[in-house]
Amino acid sequence: MTGKAIRTEGMRKILDVRREDPEMEKELCMQMLSTCEDRYMEAFGRTYLGDSYHALGQIDHALTEYDRAYEMCVKAVRLGGQNWQDVEVFDDYLDITEVMVNTGHINEVKTLLHDLEEIAEQTDLNDRRLKICRIRIQIYQKTGEKDRLNEQLQKYYRIKKAISSEKNKIIISAINNRCRLEEERKQNRLLNEDNRKLVRESEIDELTGIYNRFGFKRRYDKLYRYALKNHYSYCVGIFDIDYFKQYNDSYGHLKGDDCLKCIARILRQTSDGDFCVARYGGDEFVFMAYDRAENEIRDFVCRLIENIQQENIRFEARPEADHVTISVGAVLQDTVSGMELTEMLEKADKVLYEVKQAGKNGYKICNLLSQKA
C-alpha cells in the first residue's frame, strides 16, 4: 500500500471505533502517532487521542474510578488545547471540567475554565457562557464561597435571560418571515389570477364574446401540436356575411353589431364545442377542428347555414333574398410539420372566393387529404 493509502486506512479505523470503543481508539491513535511522518497525521492522531481520553474519563467517572478519571481528563486537556474552539471539542472539555469538579480538583478546573472563558468571549456565544457559569456555580457550592456563588447565580440569570431574548427574536423573525412569505404567495396568486384574466380578455372578442384572432391563433398552436403528434387530419374554415357592407349602409352600424352578435351566438351554439370558433375581423368568422371526416364538416356547415336562415335576420336590401345569409369555404388536409394557420386560412379563403364567384349563399369544402375516405 502507498503512504497515502496507509494513512487513509489508519484514519478510517480510528473513526470506525470512535465512541464505540474508546480504549481501541486510544491504541490506534498511539500507533498512528508513533509512526506518522507528516503534521496532518500527527494532528489527527492527537485530536482523536484526546477524544479517547475524554471518553475514558467519562466512563471511569461513571464507575466511580475518580483517580483514573482525573488522570484521563488531564491527558485530554494536555492534548487538545489548540482545538478548543471546535464546538464538539469545547463541549468535551466542559464535560471534563465537571468530572474534575466532582473528583475534587478545583484549582485545575479554575485554570481550565479561564482558558475556556476566553474562547467563549471570542466566539460570543451565550450558550457557552451559560455552561461555564453553571460549572462555576458547582465549584462555589463545593467551596462555600457565597459571594462568588451569588455573583455567578446573577450572571447565570442574565445570560439565561439574554438567551431567551435571542430565542424570542428568532421566533418573531421566523413568524414575520412566514407572514411575509404568505403575503407574497397571496399577492402572487392574485397576480396570476389577474394575468390569466387579462389573457382571457385579450383572447375574447369584446363584441361577440367568442374568440378573437389572437385567441384563435393560441388555440390553433395547441390543437395543431396535438393533431401532429397523433397524425390527425386538420380542418380550417372561414365565412362571412353576404353583402354586409350594404346591411350596415341600410340599417346602421348598431344594427350591424347586433347582426354580428347574433351570427356569433348561432355559430357557438351550432359548433357545440366540436369546432373552435372565432370572429376573425369585421364580418369574417372562422372555425377549425382536428380528426374530422369530410361528412362531419359538411354536416356542421349545413346546420350553421340552416340555423342562420331560420333566425331570419331581416335584410330587405339584399339581392335575391330578404334575410341575412353567409358563404363558407373550408379545407381539410393532413397535418404536417411546419403547417401555419395563415397558410390554411389562405387556402380556405380561396375556396370561399370560389363560392362567392358562384353566387354566394353557399359553401364548399376542399378535401386535400393524401388518402381520401
pLDDT digits (tens, 9 = 90+) for 276-327: 999 998 999 999 999 999 999 999 999 999 999 999 999 988 888 899 999 9
3-state per-residue secondary structure call for 241-294: ECCHHHHHHHHCHHHHHHHHHHHHHHHHHHHCCCCEEEEEECCEEEEEEECCCH
pLDDT of residue 7: 61
C-alpha cell recorded at residue 3:
503512504
Same domain, 142 and 12: yes
* 373 CB burial (10 A radius; 0-12, 13-18, 19+): exposed
Does some domain include residue 82? yes
pLDDT of residue 328: 97
Asked if 42 and 36 touch (Cβ cutoff 8 Å), the reply is yes
**317: Cα within 13 Å, side-chain hemisphere:** 10
Mean per-residue pLDDT for 59-66? 66
How far apart, in Å, are the Cα atoms of 35 and each of 10, 40, 82, 199, 200? 11, 13, 22, 75, 78
Same domain, 114 and 228: no
pLDDT of residue 9: 77
Q: How many domains does the chain have?
A: 2
CA–CA separation, 150 and 157 (whole Å): 11
> For residue 278, which of 236, 340, 319, 228 has the smallest C-alpha distance?
236
Same domain, 44 and 156: yes
Same domain, 127 and 267: no
Asked if 327 and 361 touch (Cβ cutoff 8 Å), the reply is yes
pLDDT of residue 76: 65
Does some domain include residue 199? no
Mean per-residue pLDDT for 349-355? 95
Asked if 239 and 326 touch (Cβ cutoff 8 Å), the reply is yes
pLDDT of residue 69: 66
Same domain, 83 and 224: no
Task: Provide CB contacts within 8 A for 138, sequence distance 6+.
Answer: 98, 101
Determine the longest span between alpha carbons in the chain, in angstroms. 123
Residue 284, domain CATH: 3.30.70.270
pLDDT of residue 300: 96
Asked if 31 and 9 touch (Cβ cutoff 8 Å), the reply is no
Q: What is the pTM of this model?
A: 0.51
Residue 7, domain CATH: 1.25.40
Same domain, 24 and 123: yes
Does some domain include residue 372? no
Mean per-residue pLDDT for 19-47? 77
Percent pLDDT > 70 in the chain is 83
pLDDT of residue 84: 47
Domain that holds residue 85: 3-168
Please write the tens of the pLDDT for every residue from 176-224: 888 888 888 877 777 677 666 655 667 888 899 999 999 999 899 999 9
Does some domain include residue 195? no
C-alpha cell recorded at residue 183:
403575503
CA–CA separation, 140 and 131 (whole Å): 15
Please write the tens of the pLDDT for every residue from 77-125: 666 555 544 445 666 667 777 777 777 777 777 777 777 777 777 766 7
Residues in the chain: 373
pLDDT of residue 64: 66
Q: What is the mean pLDDT of the chain?
A: 83
Please write the tens of the pLDDT for every residue from 241-268: 999 999 999 999 999 999 999 999 999 9
Asked if 213 and 278 touch (Cβ cutoff 8 Å), the reply is yes
